[in-house]
Each structure stands twice: as structure tokens, then as C-alpha cells.
Amino acid sequence: MIKKFISLIAAVSLSTLLLNAGDYNKQAEKDRVALKEYFAKKFANPLKNRGEYFPYATDKELKEGILPVKNSEDFRLGTYAFNKIGKEQYEELNEMAPYLDDIDEGEELYNGSSAIKKCFPNPAIAGEYPMFKDGKVITLTAAINQCLKKAGKKSWGWKKGKIAKLEAYFANKTKEAGKKVNIKINSQKAMEAYERGKKEYYSQRGYLKLSCANCHVQGSGQRVRKEYLHTLYGATTHFPVYRLKWQGLGTLERRIEGCEKDEGENPHKPSSPWVAEMIYFMAYMSNGLPVDGPDLRK
Amino acid sequence: MKIINNTALATALTTSILFADSLPSGVPASVMKLDVAKVCNPKTQSLKSIIALAEKYNPVAIKLGVEFKRLGIANSIYVKETKKAIKSGYKVTILHYKKKGKAKTKKMDTSKAAWRACTFAIRSLQQKEEAGKTYRMAIPGDGFKY
């Protein structure tokens, strides 16, 4: 009788524990689904949705420039999911993709370092970062630098060069393995980090009083000079990216620094918890989308 | 050296006093009462009082990670260089800053530089407090209705 009672208590405790573990991402999942639905509705028929979403676009732009997005997975392409002319240019440029040499160099860096191989025995891990570990958010860039430091080596920086090349190799391996973005929120502290990242993403900042969402949620599909702003949904799937503006490969940390500057704010350090938590939120929003990096952007 | 130490000490003391008086966001409660159109106006206020406000609040903005930066010039540069110009009685402030690793300079009317330093320091903090109350209004599935 006592044995049965103990088993019952253990079963109830275990199921409560499992239920709670599953609950940590409840709000994040609600946010992700709502975001996906918002973009699906917005881009289902841009011409028909003019009044609500594209009030300043011309008829010509809506008929010929902004394509309807039928499949939400296409948002992993960023602006090229709907930007007709941009997509044509993107496809032409990608015929001889400028980042191919970077992937090869990344592979050489991986194979040439026993320390990195030991830390990342499976290189197809780009979709699992950032992850919440040891009480903080660890981006892929941070994990690589931590690994080098642990092996007594100098870290590689946070924005470009070797770090971006190794990440390009990891992203390519992840893409080849057909893996998807799979960010986990499995503790109270992880949930709090996600919420902080979300708050910062939607907060207006800088002397221009812009939030990231001004451009990449409400403003997605709007034109800034000749470029169309991409969507938050799918924004992290293709990093690191080769940007024509940079004439080289860069990490997500580098891109966020650029966004902060554009908002008129003194950017946070790429190694700061602020940037890591921002990336954590952004990457969670792309959960379930295929990893698509490295890729090309203007 | 002693002057630098004293200045650093004074800034640290002011910042800690401001943090003691802070709202949950870390923003000093006193800054929320300020109207930049009045307190940073060089036509009605002395340049010394304007730059003193900038000097008081910009370190808090830096600590909270919300310091403004315009065209490569962080507000701390505006504060530092304008203070120097006011002290020396120069009508023109020369801003020394770095952009992409290169040393650069920009000339600006001292009263305009003081106005900018003051406005940027105060608004960055007020904006942080305001953003904490408005950000949910932009989230699909939360406050953003479409």
C-alpha cells in the first residue's frame, strides 16, 4: 500500500515537473505563432492588403514588385521571399556565390583545430544556437570563442574573419543535413532571458526613436530607398551572411550592431548579454524554419 | 591627474545618487519631470546649466545601454567637447571622434552642441522608461492589433 502510494506521488511529481518544463516556452511559442500568422496574412495578397499594410506603395509596386508569399518557409529568404526584382538579382549573384571560398576556409579551420573539433564533434549545430547554458545565453559565436579560450588559445573576435568563416561551415553543414532552427527555452531563467530580448526588440531606441520591430515587423515590405525591409520571421536562419555592403562575411552580432547604429544608438558590445538575449529572442521566432546559411544579402 | 580623479569621483558619486533615486527600469525618477524644450534651450538657459544636465544624465544612459549616437558621434563626445568649449569660452565646439578607426573632427556652434548633448542625455532616459510601457503595443498576438 505504502509502495503504491510512493509510486503515485513520484508519478505525479514527475508529470508536474515535465509539464512545467514544457511550460517555459509557452509564451514564446504563442509569440512565434502570432508572428508567423501576421506575416502570412500581410503577404498573402499585398495588393488586396494595401489599406492595412502597404498604404504608401504604388499600384505598380504591389502588382510587380512585391510578390505574394504562399509558403511561410519562404520567409527564411528574408526580403527575397517577396521582393521580385531583388530576388532575381539574388539568384543571379548566387550562381557564383561569393561565400563559397569562406565555407572552404571554415572547413579548413575546423579540420585544423583539434580543440574546435573536440568542442563541436558534429558541425551541423547552427540551428541549436543560441542556447541557454550555465545561467546565460550562449550564441554560436560565444561558444566558439569560449572553446578557443578553454583550449588556451586567443579568441577570434565577434564580427568577421575566422569566426564568420567557421560559422559559415557550420551553417552549411546544418543546411546539408536538412536541419531546422531548434531553439529551446527550458528553464525559468531562459524564459526571463527570452522576455528581455523580446522587450528590447520591440522597444523604441536611439535618437530616431525606432525599434527593431518598426522596420522588421510593422515595417517589413516597406521600401527604404530601393530596398525592401525583411521580416523578423526567418531573420536569423541564413547567418552568417555575405553582405555586398561589407564586401565580406559577417556574423549576426555584426548585423545587430549595424541596426543599433541605424536607430541612432551607441551599439552594445557584440559580446554583451544584451546582444545574446536579443539573438535568443530573434532565433526563437524562426523556430521550425530550415537553416539556410550562409547566404547573400545586399 | 588629480583633476581627472576628482572628476571621475564626482561623476561616480552623481551616478550612484541618481541610481538610488531610480525607477524599476533604472531611469532616475527626476529625469522624467524634465522638459527638454525648456531645460536644454540655449536661448533661455545658460550653457553651463545645460551642459551640467547632460553631464549628470549621460553616464546613466551609458550604464543602461541607451546612449544616443548620431552620425558616428556618441553623446559622451558631445558632452566632453562642449564642456571644454564652454570652459574656454569658444563659440565653436570641435568634436573629435573616430569613425571606422579613423580620427575625424566636426565643427559645431557651441550652443547647438550643448542643446544636443542635453537633449540626447535626457531623452535617451525618458525614452527608455516610455518604451517599457509601450513595447507590448507592437507585438503581434499581444498589444498589436491588425
Examine residue A273 and say whether the peptide bond preceding it is cis (omega within 30 degrees of 0): no
> Which of A126, A151, A176 delimits the end of a domain?
A176
Query: Looking at the 3D structure of chain A, how many domains does it have?
Result: 2
> Which of A147, A176, A205 delimits the end of a domain?
A176
> Do A88 and A107 sit in the same domain of this protein?
no
Task: Quote the minimal CA–CA distance from B44 to chain A in Å.
Answer: 23
A35·B141 Cβ contact <8 A:
yes
In a domain, A132, yes or no: yes
> Do A219 and A284 sit in the same domain of this protein?
yes
Query: Which cell is A246 given?
Result: 561589407
Q: What is the pLDDT of residue B49?
A: 95
The type of residue at A202 is Y
Q: What is the pLDDT of residue B74?
A: 96
Q: What is the pLDDT of residue A16?
A: 47
Give the active site residues of A.
259
> Do A106 and A170 sit in the same domain of this protein?
yes
Q: What is the C-alpha to C-alpha distance for residues A35 and A194, in angstroms, rounded to an integer?
A: 15
Q: What is the C-alpha to C-alpha distance for residues A217 and A281, in angstroms, rounded to an integer?
A: 14
Residue B72's nearest CA partner among B105, B117, B120, B35 is B105
Q: What is the C-alpha to C-alpha distance for residues A77 and A200, in angstroms, rounded to an integer?
A: 24
Distance of CA B104 to the CA centre of its chain: 21
> Do A86 and A194 sit in the same domain of this protein?
yes
Domain ranges of chain B: 2-128
Helix (H, G, I), strand (E, B) or coil at B12: helix
| Minimal-distance CA residue of chain A relative to B134 | A203
A206·B68 Cβ contact <8 A:
yes
> Do A285 and A192 sit in the same domain of this protein?
yes
pTM of the predicted protein model:
0.89
Q: Which residues of A touch B128 (CB under 8 A)?
A: 203, 205
Q: What is the pLDDT of residue A4?
A: 56
> Do A79 and A195 sit in the same domain of this protein?
yes
| Minimal-distance CA residue of chain B relative to A207 | B68
Flag whether pLDDT at A290 surpasses 50: yes
| Minimal-distance CA residue of chain A relative to B136 | A202
Q: What is the C-alpha to C-alpha distance for residues B31 and B127, in angstroms, rounded to an integer?
A: 11
> Which of A176, A209, A234 delimits the end of a domain?
A176
> Do A215 and A72 sit in the same domain of this protein?
yes
Which residues of chain B are under the pLDDT cut of 70?
1-20
Q: What is the C-alpha to C-alpha distance for residues B128 and B133, in angstroms, rounded to an integer?
A: 9
**At residue A241, what are phi and psi to the nearest 5 degrees?**
-120, 150
Residue the block writes with cell 526567418: A234
In a domain, A19, yes or no: no
> Do A89 and A220 sit in the same domain of this protein?
yes
Which residue range(s) make up the domain with A92?
Answer: 31-96+188-289
In a domain, A118, yes or no: yes
B127·A33 Cβ contact <8 A:
no
pLDDT category, A2, cuts 50, 70, 90? low
> Do A154 and A243 sit in the same domain of this protein?
no
Q: What is the pLDDT of residue B141?
A: 87
In a domain, A181, yes or no: no
> Do A38 and A74 sit in the same domain of this protein?
yes
In a domain, A8, yes or no: no
Q: What is the C-alpha to C-alpha distance for residues B28 and B26, in angstroms, rounded to an integer?
A: 6
Q: Mean pLDDT over residues A108-120, rounded?
A: 94
The half-sphere exposure of A122 on its side-chain side, counting CA atoms within 13 A, is: 9
A211·B62 Cβ contact <8 A:
no
> Do A195 and A74 sit in the same domain of this protein?
yes
Test mutation, B62, B66, B97, chain A, max A CBs within 10 A: B66
Flag whether pLDDT at A18 surpasses 50: no
Look up the ipTM and state it: 0.86
Rounded (5°) CA angle B146-A23-A171: 75
> Do A258 and A141 sit in the same domain of this protein?
no
Q: What is the C-alpha to C-alpha distance for residues B15 and A296, in angstroms, rounded to an integer?
A: 45
